[in-house]
Amino acid sequence: MTTMILLHTSDWHIGRSFHGTGLLESQRAVLDQLVATVRERGVDAVLLAGDVYDRALPPADAVRLLDETLAAIRAAGAAVVMTSGNHDSAVRLGFGGALMEASGVHLRTDPERLAEPILLEGRDGERAAVYGIPYLEPRHLGQEWGVDPHHTPVMQEAVRRIRADLAARRQDPDGGPLASIVLAHLFAAGGQGSEGERDIGEGEHLDCGAEDPEALVGTLGQVPVSVFDGLDYVALGHLHGRQTMAEHVRYSGSPLPYSFGEWQQDKGGWLVHVSGGDVTAVEKVDWPGGRQLAVLSGPTAELLESAEFDWAEDRWVQVTVTDDERPEKALERLRARYPHVLVFRHEPAGGRKEREKTYAQALRDAPSDLALTTGFVHHVRERAATEEETALLDAALSAARVQEVQA
């Protein structure tokens, strides 16, 4: 049986850093694995469902990496269909789209073109209509399209336009079987998010504030999966964990972990098999690229000495020490064993003691500068300042007051 193979991927976030550490070489390594999959599995097209870059204005080395990767995918024999996500600048990502179309790289960054499919023909003659829905700004498009300015009505209108075009094409008696494939960048209701999607920051794609009635993750309101009923395959982007929302609606997840909340996730994509105008199989493909993550917790002595944690020594590490009091030079000592500690926390094993007032309230209510500073010591170290520390703080405050008067 002849088969067209599509590779579903998303959320490359090229140019992203991880707790101050650049990820470009890890991204290069995992994208090399993606290209190898294209070559080895005879992939006909790569579907990239948004968040290509991590910023609307990506750095030059991120742009070069995307250029090299697209060229390598084309050299391996696959077309590319790419949409913009909420991290991307749709205008910048879409620049040169008309020229790139002729070379087999198809950009869909303009909402007005979402019902213009890329008509793919596989190496074995199978056909698919691929529709790319970029990230849709509901406040802008709701008014323009005459629907409520929220994510679900706007997405429903986008899919309505796609269905109309698809129905017309399938009525063509000379067309033959035609599978319907849709790319979209959104938060589907019921999806499992992580820290990586929440940190989406600034720019023209910041959507709505906390007062918006829709549920938000990474500023994207949740959209019911039923919106896509009847379509053969929906390749979603935005959530970084690979997951199946319905048999025909899936997230590929990001190719690398972008938060410690993703440290136990298998990373990769989906291989989608199309035959006879239908999706006949969906297969997982893994890419174990870049430095791995570890999340550790325990008493400082145990973290430093136990062989139980040998596996984490070369990983990027988030570590939580559970000693009753914050150990001296704990981070420095831990980095002697785990040189790549990126996040350090102190959380006593019994949990933080209940406070009558929040720290912010304590700051507002502090009766003196000395009470304010000793309160800070208590908040950070989880213990009261010693007499010696209190005396040093008092002397420093007195000196500061003298300088202020003399200035």
Top-ranked range on mean pLDDT: pick from 50-64, 185-199, 218-232: 50-64
Is the domain of 320 the same as that of 220?
Answer: no
Range of the domain at 68: 4-286
Same domain, 385 and 241: no
Instruction: For 292-314, give the DSSP string.
Output: -EEEEEE-HHHHHH-GGGGGGTT
Statement to judge: residues 140 and 184 lie in one domain: yes
In this structure, the answer to whether residues 15 and 138 fall within a common structural domain is yes
Is 116 among the domain residues?
Answer: yes
Whether 12 is covered by a domain: the verdict is: yes
Residue 278: inside a domain, yes or no?
yes
Looking at the structure, tell me whether residues 327 and 370 fall in a common domain: no
If you average pLDDT over every residue of the chain, what do you get? Answer: 88
Would you state the pLDDT for residue 198? 42
Same domain, 181 and 139: yes
- Counting Cα atoms < 13 Å in the Cβ hemisphere of 384 gives 5
Same domain, 379 and 278: no
Res. 202: pLDDT tops 80: no
H helix and E strand count, the chain: 12, 20
Residues 106 and 133 in one domain: yes
Of 243, 264, 286, the residue at which a domain comes to its end is: 286
- Checking if the pLDDT of 407 tops 60, the result is no
Measured distance CA(327)–CA(335) in Å, rounded: 14
Q: How many domains does the chain have?
A: 3
User: Is residue 298 within 8 Å of 321, Cβ to Cβ?
Assistant: yes
Least confident of 149-158, 227-236, 343-352: 343-352
* Stronger pLDDT, 168 or 211, i.e. the higher one: 168
Residues 156 and 62 in one domain: yes
